[in-house]
């Protein structure tokens, strides 16, 4: 049988919602220092006999050196910076109010639709991909669909920091098989809700943001800017080195969990050692499948987790350290926004590319999960 040529799919719009408040490294360090000194004083006897370890006092120099992060946006900062609370202070919303993740999604979606030259009524599928969802059901995607006034269907997806690229592949598949005509992929990341602000090694890592993408079959696209998806590739490999055990079964478990298990935690050295070569090999392999090599790529929009990781991954693909132009960084301003990071980089750093230029969006995170999307400007 002759092979059926699959329809071309393009990204035709992107959007970004930036939360209203920002937290500097200095503010975080001051808050955690007060909390650590208090905790160490309260546990002085246990520390003295070796029952518990003394908690380390944070410092700004360590944060920038370890990550490249200088500040981050959050949905609410007073609770994060309160040494007695150290988590956001978010309003409890009634069931007849729009949920917080749906609310932060709307500006990003409307910006993306405007770029694509589309109206909400054109959307017939909404995929929400993010590292943590505010509830089990109803799906946030269906709430967004309703708020938009869109028809069709929607669902939520969680593959941690790779949720955006995995959602893009799902959108591409839906467009190619005809189950949708215009798909919105949205990534409402409130990472401050699952970050561990009590520990020196973790408190600085994450920030909040929401990104949105509009995808359509290229033949149907009418927007001024179109990025043809040349290919998508996903891979997962189980690892406990990045983990968060918060879930609906916690209250049913016989032994109560340590609260530190119910927020983000990772073995950073192992993640660095294992993930960097895995991602570099993934990108190189994906390019090879598309008959491309590293020199054909004008720009890499990498997951914004850690500056050193991004540099090492790009070096593994290019054979040398990348320039800022080749692999732009938004990590210093936004911190790690989980699945939104690579999309923010794409949203912020693509206007200077010319028709025919090729770029790679790539994410990597807990799972382990890696996703890449190779695009070409039309």
Catalytic residue set: 161
Question: What's the CA gap between 195 and 199, in Å, rounded?
Answer: 10
Q: By three-state DSSP, how is residue 92 classified?
A: coil
Question: What's the CA gap between 69 and 64, in Å, rounded?
Answer: 5
* Sign of the four-CA dihedral 309, 314, 315, 321: negative
Q: By three-state DSSP, how is residue 69 classified?
A: coil
Q: Are strands 297-302 and 358-365 parallel, antiparallel or unpaired?
A: parallel
Q: How many CB atoms lie within 10 A of CB 151?
A: 12
Q: By three-state DSSP, how is residue 126 classified?
A: strand
Question: What's the CA gap between 271 and 263, in Å, rounded?
Answer: 17
The dihedrals phi and psi of 242, each to the nearest 5 degrees, come to -130, 120
Which residue, 59, 360, 318, 106, is CA-closest to 212?
Answer: 106
Q: How many CB atoms lie within 10 A of CB 49?
A: 7
Question: What's the CA gap between 202 and 196, in Å, rounded?
Answer: 6
Which residue, 371, 343, 12, 344, is CA-closest to 181?
Answer: 12
- For 47, counting Cβ atoms within 10 Å of its Cβ (0-12 exposed, 13-18 middle, 19+ buried), the class is middle
9: CB partners within 8 A, 6+ apart: 171, 172, 175, 176, 215, 216, 217, 218, 228, 229
Question: What's the CA gap between 41 and 74, in Å, rounded?
Answer: 30
Question: What's the CA gap between 294 and 73, in Å, rounded?
Answer: 33
| CB of 236 closer than 8 Å to CB of 73 | no
The dihedrals phi and psi of 131, each to the nearest 5 degrees, come to -80, -25
Question: What's the CA gap between 212 and 340, in Å, rounded?
Answer: 9
């Amino acid at each position: 049988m002759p092979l059926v040529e699959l329809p071309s799919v393009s990204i035709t719009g992107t959007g970004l919602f930036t939360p209203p408040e920002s937290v500097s490294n200095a503010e975080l360090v001051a808050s955690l220092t007060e909390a650590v000194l208090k905790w160490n004083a309260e546990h002085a006897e246990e520390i003295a006999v070796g029952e518990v370890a003394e908690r380390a006092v944070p410092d700004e120099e360590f944060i920038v050196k370890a990550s490249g992060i200088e500040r981050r946006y959050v949905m609410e900062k007073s609770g994060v910076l309160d040494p007695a609370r150290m988590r956001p202070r978010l309003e409890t919303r009634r069931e007849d109010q729009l949920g917080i993740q749906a609310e932060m999604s709307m500006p990003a979606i409307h910006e993306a639709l405007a770029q694509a030259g589309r109206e909400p009524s054109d959307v017939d599928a909404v995929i929400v991909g993010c590292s943590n969802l505010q509830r089990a059901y109803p799906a946030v995607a269906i709430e967004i669909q309703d708020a938009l006034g869109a028809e069709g269907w929607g669902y939520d997806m969680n593959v941690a920091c790779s949720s955006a690229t995995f959602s893009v592949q799902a959108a591409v598949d839906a467009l190619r098989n005809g189950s949708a005509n215009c798909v919105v992929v949205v990534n409402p990341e409130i990472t401050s809700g699952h970050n561990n602000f009590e520990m020196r090694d973790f408190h600085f890592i994450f920030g909040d943001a929401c990104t949105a993408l509009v995808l359509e079959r290229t033949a149907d696209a009418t927007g001024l800017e179109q990025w043809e998806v040349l290919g998508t590739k996903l891979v997962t490999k189980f690892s406990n080195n990045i983990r968060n055990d918060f879930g609906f079964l916690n209250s049913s478990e016989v032994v109560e969990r340590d609260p530190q298990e119910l927020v983000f935690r990772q073995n950073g050295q192992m993640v660095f050692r294992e993930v960097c070569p895995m991602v570099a090999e993934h990108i190189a392999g994906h390019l090879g499948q598309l008959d491309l090599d590293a020199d054909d790529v004008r720009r890499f929009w990498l997951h914004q987790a850690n500056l050193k990781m991004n540099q090492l991954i790009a070096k593994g693909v290019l054979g040398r350290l990348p320039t800022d132009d080749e692999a732009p960084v938004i990590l210093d301003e936004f911190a790690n926004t989980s699945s939104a990071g690579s999309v923010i980089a794409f949203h912020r750093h693509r206007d200077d590319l010319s028709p025919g230029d090729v770029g790679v969006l790539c994410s990597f995170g807990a799972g382990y999960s890696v996703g890449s999307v190779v695009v070409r400007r039309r």
